[in-house]
Chains A and B, each alone.
Chain A
Amino acid sequence: MLEVRDIRTFYGAIQALKGVSIWVTEGEIVALIGANGAGKSTLLMTICGVVPPRSGEILFMGNPIQNLSPDRIFSLGIVQVPEGRRIFPLLTVQENLDMGAYLRNDKGAVRSDMEYVFSIFPRLAERRRQLGGTLSGGEQQMLALSRGLMARPRMLLLDEPSLGLAPVLVATIFDTIRHINRDNSTTLLLVEQKAAMALHIAGRGYVLENGTIKLQDIADQLLCNKEVKSAYLGGS
């Protein structure tokens, strides 16, 4: 579904990605793990077109997308849930969700999607009229995720969905992510620092280090891998 071929991305003179290649097939969950500054978020930004790559190719459904603008890539069905939630604090929960469906014209379907979102996160339904900024961290993450879903993505890119959340909430969020994948067979590319959690729900995983892919394998194998264990899963 998505194929990233040897991309190099720069921030000014600093090279963040030094030739990264990954692929994601339809319906699977792929985890991207790595330390701070390894280039995980940059990779997502590059796929979305926010930071275009200087060289390399990105194919989505067989078509090159590396030169398209972010909104074009979005309209192809690649939707990012950005790091740190980034919901609109002065819009209500419902307006936030409406923004997710910004490019859609099928009102009926948007409405049923909103009901679906409210069914997985009843908390959001309760707070529909509340301003986004007044939600708690966990609720904001739910909102960010729901807002992404409202776009009816073919592929959802999640950047650190567990950032700054209490452990209980992290489990809930990951459960929901698995649900979303199963219910709609939405393809998921998941960037996560909490490597163990991510690899548990993912089918495959990539380990990113200093802008290159260091390891790639099916998730269970990575969980057992010695290097991964010591570097990202907290020893033993």
Chain B
Amino acid sequence: MPYGRRAPITQKGGKILRSFGVALWFMFLTFPIMVIKISPLEKNIEWRWGRMIYVGAGAFVLSLLWRYVIEQKRGPIPKEEADPLKVDTKDTGWNRGGSHSLQERLAIFFHKNKKFRILTFTGLFFIIAAFPFVFSTYQTSIIITALMYVMLGLGLNIVVGLAGLLDLGYVAFYASGAYFYALMNHHFGLGFWAALPMAGALAAIMGLLLGFPVLRLRGDYLAIVTLGFGEIIRLVLENWNEFSLGPSGIARIDRPGTLGIDFDLRDHTVYLYYIVVVLVAFTIIVVSRLRNSRIGRAWIALREDEVACQAMGIDKTKTKLTAFALGATWAGFVGCILAAKTTFINPASFTFMESAIILSIVVLGGMGSIFGIILGALVLILLPEYLRAFSEYRMLVFGASMVIIMVFRPQGIIGGTRKRHEFHVKEPTGEKP
């Protein structure tokens, strides 16, 4: 809540009363499904009033807890009320000079402590390198998927996080990369390594194709058009049988080439794991370089104010198109990897849900923050996987955790890293004796 805050609920009575209201409302809402049970066989209605009490009590406790936690999060009100700006800035990381948040303190510690930094990185390196030998093929396979989403998230982050263009059709580029490799492999026997850069290039061209007509759009309008674009690509793939083999998809796609050495499934998985790890590292390097580059600054400025950008001599068209093309490139890469990993693709893998998940990774992780997005992807992909133990409740838990993160960390799990980072690097620039 960077701007207007709601009036704080100070009296205890108000809190309890409100929670009571919520409980009543929930009892009313759930009445038809929780209380009435009609059994058509015995032709009678069973009234389960006991359940209503559980619902009421549960809603009351949860609501009270919620209000309490929110109040705690706001912190003590009376003292800071005099300086409303200060409270606001704290929340969004606007405040530079004053107190640092825990995240900022950690980051500063991390920046200053060289030994600690090297130790962390080497530790991380060994964990990543040893992973497929310690864990099962199944675990490795899950991690590959998560890492693929890290790449997708970082790619979409260029478009959404840096350039501020809300793209809901990102899956279209993902699909084009996957279908490019699948079709080329199916018809011409093209290998993975040759297809990978070409898939990226094709996706970049698709990005330009989408970019041209939507140059003048922003925000909601852009979102709708890109959403449509994503659906068009999927529908084409589903219905143009001669071209894409329709809904039945393409099977028996080659795994990445291994210089003629025979690999079994486990070796293939391990091999793919290292390929993906290297590609993720490559992506991180490119994206972090991009972010501090000239074009990266132009994207950020474009996100903030288009008119001011034009007044600064930034070529709006070129800047936007590069964002679309570069963002799409990564989707193309990952699409190609997906085809090689699963050896089977069909249009059902490229629904709007995919776009939504990738966007959630970016928003949940923290827009513009590389580390945040990595974390976001791991949480969003691994959580549903490891929640399988809860079987039918897993999507419920998943949804609830998303809501909770967004309420308590509206800037994402790791937000505002860009600002802090540049502030450290650039600090000495203007400070000449």
Task: Give A residues with C-beta under 8 Å from B.
Answer: 48, 50, 69-71, 74-75, 79-82, 86-92, 94-95, 98-100, 102-103, 111, 114-115, 118, 125, 128-131, 133-134, 147-148, 151
A71–B430 CB distance below 8 A: no
In the bound complex, CA of A89 to CA of B294 (Å): 19
Known: A88-B304, A134-B89, A151-B313. A128 touches B430 (CB 8 A): yes
Q: Does B300 contact A (CB under 8 A)?
A: yes
Chain B 76-114, CB-CB to A under 8 Å as 1, else 0, gives 000000000100010000101100000000000000000
In the bound complex, CA of A131 to CA of B2 (Å): 14
Known: A91-B304, A134-B89. A74 touches B313 (CB 8 A): yes
B86 to chain A, nearest CB (A): 10
B97–A130 CB distance below 8 A: yes
In the bound complex, CA of A133 to CA of B307 (Å): 16
Number of A-B contacts (CB under 8 A): 94
Q: Quick one: closest B residue to A82, CB to CB?
A: B311
B297–A130 CB distance below 8 A: no
- Give chain B interface residues in 377-433, CB to chain A under 8 Å: 419, 422-423, 426-427, 429-430, 432
B190 to chain A, nearest CB (A): 40
A133–B94 CB distance below 8 A: yes
Contacts of A118 in B (CB 8 A): 430
Known: A70-B313, A102-B312, A131-B94. A95 touches B304 (CB 8 A): no
Taking a contact as CB atoms closer than 8 A, the residue among B97, B311, B315, B419 that contacts A80 in the complex is B311
In the bound complex, CA of A13 to CA of B300 (Å): 34
Give the most central of A89, A90, A129: most B CB within 10 Å. A90
Q: Quick one: closest A residue to B302, CB to CB?
A: A88
Known: A95-B422, A130-B97. A103 touches B313 (CB 8 A): yes
Contacts of A81 in B (CB 8 A): 311
Q: Does B314 contact A (CB under 8 A)?
A: yes
Q: Quick one: closest B residue to A103, CB to CB?
A: B313
A94–B301 CB distance below 8 A: no
Give the most central of A91, A111, A147: most B CB within 10 Å. A91
Q: Does B1 contact A (CB under 8 A)?
A: no
A-B contacts, 30 of them at CB < 8 A, read: A50-B310, A69-B315, A70-B316, A71-B310, A71-B313, A71-B315, A74-B310, A74-B311, A74-B312, A75-B313, A79-B311, A80-B311, A86-B305, A87-B305, A88-B300, A88-B304, A89-B304, A89-B305, A91-B301, A92-B419, A92-B423, A94-B426, A94-B430, A99-B297, A99-B301, A102-B313, A131-B94, A133-B94, A134-B94, A151-B312
Contacts of A134 in B (CB 8 A): 85, 89, 94
In the bound complex, CA of A7 to CA of B301 (Å): 31
B426–A147 CB distance below 8 A: no
Considering only CB atoms and an 8 Å cut-off, how many residues of chain B contact the other chain? 29
B291 to chain A, nearest CB (A): 13
Q: Does B308 contact A (CB under 8 A)?
A: yes
- Give chain B interface residues in 247-297, CB to chain A under 8 Å: 294, 297
In the bound complex, CA of A78 to CA of B288 (Å): 33
Contacts of A88 in B (CB 8 A): 300-301, 304-305, 308
A99–B96 CB distance below 8 A: no
Known: A92-B419, A92-B423, A134-B85. A100 touches B312 (CB 8 A): yes
B393 to chain A, nearest CB (A): 39
Give the most central of B89, B427, B430: most A CB within 10 Å. B430
B314–A102 CB distance below 8 A: yes
In the bound complex, CA of A64 to CA of B430 (Å): 38
A82–B308 CB distance below 8 A: yes
Q: Does B298 contact A (CB under 8 A)?
A: yes
In the bound complex, CA of A125 to CA of B220 (Å): 38
Chain B 161-180, CB-CB to A under 8 Å as 1, else 0, gives 00000000000000000000
Q: Quick one: closest A residue to B305, CB to CB?
A: A86
B143 to chain A, nearest CB (A): 34
Contacts of A71 in B (CB 8 A): 310, 313-316
Q: Quick one: closest B residue to A148, CB to CB?
A: B311
Q: Quick one: closest A residue to B432, CB to CB?
A: A115
A60 to chain B, nearest CB (A): 14
Chain B 309-334, CB-CB to A under 8 Å as 1, else 0, gives 01111111000000000000000000
Contacts of B313 in A (CB 8 A): 70-71, 74-75, 79, 102-103, 151
A158 to chain B, nearest CB (A): 11
Known: A70-B313, A111-B430; 10 extra A-B contacts, CB below 8 A, are A50-B310, A81-B311, A88-B304, A90-B419, A91-B300, A92-B423, A95-B297, A103-B313, A130-B96, A151-B312
Q: Quick one: closest B residue to A86, CB to CB?
A: B308
In the bound complex, CA of A65 to CA of B426 (Å): 37
B128 to chain A, nearest CB (A): 33
A111 to chain B, nearest CB (A): 8
Question: Top 7 nearest A-B pairs by Cβ distance?
Answer: A74-B313, A86-B308, A88-B304, A71-B315, A70-B310, A80-B311, A71-B313
In the bound complex, CA of A69 to CA of B314 (Å): 10
Give the most central of A48, A75, A95: most B CB within 10 Å. A95
Contacts of B426 in A (CB 8 A): 94-95
B305 to chain A, nearest CB (A): 5
Contacts of A111 in B (CB 8 A): 429-430, 432
Contacts of A89 in B (CB 8 A): 304-305
Contacts of A129 in B (CB 8 A): 96-97, 423, 427
In the bound complex, CA of A102 to CA of B430 (Å): 16
Contacts of B311 in A (CB 8 A): 48, 70, 74, 79-82, 86, 148
Contacts of A87 in B (CB 8 A): 305, 308
In the bound complex, CA of A148 to CA of B422 (Å): 22
Contacts of A91 in B (CB 8 A): 300-301, 304
B224 to chain A, nearest CB (A): 23
